[in-house]
A and B are shown apart, each in its own frame.
Chain A
Amino acid sequence: MFGWIDTVIQGILLGGLYSLYATGLSVIFGIMRLVNLAHGDLIVLPAFLMLALVGVGVPIVLALAIVVPLMYAGGYVLQTVMLNRVLGRNILPPLLITFGLSIIVQNGLLEGFSADTRFLNVGPLQSASLPLGGGIAFGIMPLICLAAAVAVIVLLNAVFYRTAVGRAFRATSDDVQIAQLMGINDRSIYALTMGIALAVCAVAGFFLGARSNFDPSIGPARLLYAFEAVIIGGLGSLWGTLAGGIVVGLAQTIGAHLDPEWQILAGHVAFLIVLVIRPRGLFPRAVD
C-alpha cells in the first residue's frame, strides 16, 4: 500500500519536471503555431551551459541566473534571424529548420562535452528528502522542481492575462492578420515568444540536470514527453500542460512500479488512451 502512495507522489513530482519541459513548447505552439522539433535539445543545451559555468567555479544558482537570460536572448535572436523568415502558410519549412537545429545542437554538444553522462551538482539539496513516515519521503529537489513548474505557469499567466504585451500575445494567437491591422508587429511578438520559451527551457534544463543524469543525446526523448504533456493537457492552456505533465509522470512511475521495463511505454500508452477518449486533450481552449 505504502508502495503505491509513494509511487503516486513520485509520479506527481516527476510530472512537475515534464510540465517544465512542456511549458515552452506549449507557449511556442499556442502563439505562433510552430512545432519546435529542437525543443528537447534546447533543454539539454542550457544544462550543459550550466555545467560548463559550474566547471569554471561559478556557483550553480548564479549559473542558472546567467543561463536563463542567455537562453532568452538566444531565443530572440534565433526567431529574428532564422525562424521568422520561414514562418508562413506552409508548416514544413519551420519543421525542417528546427529539425536541423536539433541535429546541430546535439552534435555541437557531443563535440564540446563528449558523450559522457553528466549531472549538475546542487550540493546537499541533491539527495535531501522530507520523510513522511511509513517509508514515504519527498525528495526536496523534485519538490522544488514541481514548485518551480507551478511558479513558471503562474508567472506566464500573469504576463499573458494581466499585461498589455500579454494582450498582444493573445490577440496574435487568435488572429495574426487582424493583430497586424491593430498595430502589432507579429514578428517581434514571435521573437519575444521564443525568448520566453527558451528562458523556460533553461529552468527545465536546470532541473533536468539536478534531478537526473544527462548526455547530449537525450533531447529528443524530452521533446516527446513535452509533446505528450501538451497534447494531453489540451492546446492553449498552461494549467492543462501542467496536468498533462503529471499524467505522463504518473503513468511512467506506475508503469515502472509494475515492471521497470514498462516505465517509458506506460507514459506513451497513457498518451494514446487520452487521445482516444479526449482527442482535444483534457483542458482544451473553448475556441480554435
Chain B
Amino acid sequence: MAVLETHELTAFYGDFQALFGITFALDEGETVAIIGANGAGKSTFLKAVAGLLPRQAAAVRLAGRDIGTLPAYEIVKLGLSLVPEGRRLFSSLSVEENLLVGAYGRRGEGPWSLATVYRLFPILEERRHTPSTALSGGQQQMVAIGRSLMSNPRVLLCDELSLGLAPIVIRDIYAALADIKQHGTSVVLVEQDLVHAMSVADRAYCFMEGRVSLSGRPRELSRDAIHAAYFGL
C-alpha cells in the first residue's frame, strides 16, 4: 500500500511553472530514487510534498490522507520529514540542539531518539556541544539526517545527500541509510549521483523539465533508456 502518493502535482515559483503534473507513489518500506538533470524539478517536488510550496489540495496524500492544504509544520507531525538540500543546519545551535529541534515534529513513540541517532552516528555524540558550523560536510549531513529522524518519520525525503561530499563519506552516509530503512522508514532519495541512487533504490523515477520521463525498477531500466530520459536525447 502506498504511504505517499501524488496525483498530477503541479508547482510554481511565481509565474514560472516548475512541475507539470507529477504522479508518484511510494510504498510502505520502499526506497525510491528520483534522478534527473539540474533543474528537472526534483527538489521542487520534495518541497511541494513537504509543504514548502503552494500546491493543490488533493494532489498529495500521506498514508491515505490529503495533505495538500497543510502547512509544513503540520505535515512533519503526520510523519513526513525532509532532509533539505545543502543540509541547512541551524547555524547558531550546537549539534545536539539541532537534533533536539528535530523532535518538535515528533509523532508519538518511535525508534528514533537522541540515543539511537548517536548510535547511528557515533561521531555526533563526541561532538554534541560543538557549534554545527564547525563540523565537516559529512558530519553536517549526519546532523541533518539525524535532525529529520528525530521526528520519527514514516517517510524520509532526502535531497542530494551526496552533494559536495567525498566518496568515502558518501559511502558512510549510504550505509546509515540502510540502517534507517531497516526500521521500516520509507525513503525518497533525490540524487544526481546515478550509481549511488540506483544501488539502494527499489524503484526509480527520472524527471525531465518538470515531468516524469521514465520510471521502473533499476534492473529493468537500460542504460540507454535512462540516458534518454535524463537528457532528453
Q: Which segment of B18-26, B90-98, B203-211 sits at the interface?
A: B90-98
**Does A180 contact B72, Cβ atoms closer than 8 Å?**
yes
Contact of B90 among A164, A171, A183, A286 (CB under 8 A): A171
Residues of A within 8 A of B77 (CB): 183
Residues of A within 8 A of B102 (CB): 182
A130 interface hit (Cβ, 8 Å): no
**Does A174 contact B72, Cβ atoms closer than 8 Å?**
no
Alpha-carbon distance between A282 and B90 when the two chains are bound, in angstroms: 23
**Does B90 contact A180, Cβ atoms closer than 8 Å?**
no
Proximity bits, B68-79, A CB within 8 Å = 1, else 0 = 000111001100
**Does B147 contact A182, Cβ atoms closer than 8 Å?**
yes
Residues of B within 8 A of A184 (CB): 73, 101, 104-105
A148 interface hit (Cβ, 8 Å): no
Proximity bits, A270-288, B CB within 8 Å = 1, else 0 = 0000000000000001111
Residues of B within 8 A of A173 (CB): 92
**Does B97 contact A167, Cβ atoms closer than 8 Å?**
yes
A178 interface hit (Cβ, 8 Å): yes
CB contact under 8 A between A171 and B101, given known A287-B91, A287-B133 = yes
Which chain B residue has the least Cβ–Cβ distance from A173? Answer: B92
Contact of B50 among A168, A175, A181 (CB under 8 A): A181
A136 interface hit (Cβ, 8 Å): no
Residues of A within 8 A of B73 (CB): 180-186
B192 interface hit (Cβ, 8 Å): no
Alpha-carbon distance between A177 and B51 when the two chains are bound, in angstroms: 10
**Does A170 contact B90, Cβ atoms closer than 8 Å?**
yes
Interface core residue of B71, B88, B104 (most chain A CB under 10 Å): B104
Interface core residue of A170, A173, A174 (most chain B CB under 10 Å): A174
A97 interface hit (Cβ, 8 Å): no
B52 interface hit (Cβ, 8 Å): yes
Residues of A within 8 A of B151 (CB): 182-183
A70 interface hit (Cβ, 8 Å): no
Which chain B residue has the least Cβ–Cβ distance from A236? Answer: B92
Residues of B within 8 A of A186 (CB): 73
CB contact under 8 A between A178 and B84, given known A183-B73, A287-B133 = yes
Alpha-carbon distance between A168 and B90 when the two chains are bound, in angstroms: 10
Proximity bits, B137-174, A CB within 8 Å = 1, else 0 = 00000000001000100000000000000000000000
Contact of A177 among B52, B91, B97, B100 (CB under 8 A): B52
B117 interface hit (Cβ, 8 Å): no
Proximity bits, A152-180, B CB within 8 Å = 1, else 0 = 00000000000010011011011101111
A186 to B: closest C-beta gap in Å: 8
Contact of B92 among A164, A178, A285 (CB under 8 A): A285
**Does B93 contact A182, Cβ atoms closer than 8 Å?**
no
B42 interface hit (Cβ, 8 Å): no
Alpha-carbon distance between A180 and B104 when the two chains are bound, in angstroms: 10
Alpha-carbon distance between A238 and B51 when the two chains are bound, in angstroms: 34
Alpha-carbon distance between A173 and B73 when the two chains are bound, in angstroms: 16
Residues of A within 8 A of B51 (CB): 180
Residues of B within 8 A of A167 (CB): 93, 97, 100-101
Residues of A within 8 A of B76 (CB): 181-183
Which chain A residue has the least Cβ–Cβ distance from B157? Answer: A181
Residues of B within 8 A of A178 (CB): 84, 88, 90
Task: Name the interface residues of A31-82: CB closer than 8 Å to any CB of B.
Answer: none
B82 interface hit (Cβ, 8 Å): yes
Contact of B82 among A168, A175, A181, A185 (CB under 8 A): A181
Which chain A residue has the least Cβ–Cβ distance from B133? Answer: A287
Alpha-carbon distance between A168 and B100 when the two chains are bound, in angstroms: 10
Alpha-carbon distance between A123 and B100 when the two chains are bound, in angstroms: 48
Residues of A within 8 A of B100 (CB): 164, 167
Task: Name the interface residues of A174-216: CB closer than 8 Å to any CB of B.
Answer: 174-175, 177-186
Report B's interface with A, CB cutoff 8 A: 50-52, 71-73, 76-77, 81-82, 84, 88, 90-93, 97, 100-102, 104-106, 133, 147, 151
- 28 CB contacts below 8 A, A to B, read A167-B97, A167-B100, A167-B101, A170-B97, A173-B92, A174-B91, A175-B88, A175-B90, A178-B84, A178-B88, A178-B90, A179-B101, A180-B51, A181-B72, A181-B73, A181-B76, A181-B81, A182-B101, A182-B102, A182-B105, A183-B77, A183-B105, A183-B106, A184-B73, A184-B105, A286-B92, A287-B133, A288-B91
Q: Contacts A174-B92, A236-B92 known; list 17 others, CB within 8 Å.
A: A170-B92, A174-B93, A175-B88, A178-B90, A179-B90, A180-B52, A181-B50, A181-B52, A181-B81, A182-B73, A182-B101, A182-B104, A184-B104, A285-B92, A286-B133, A287-B92, A288-B91
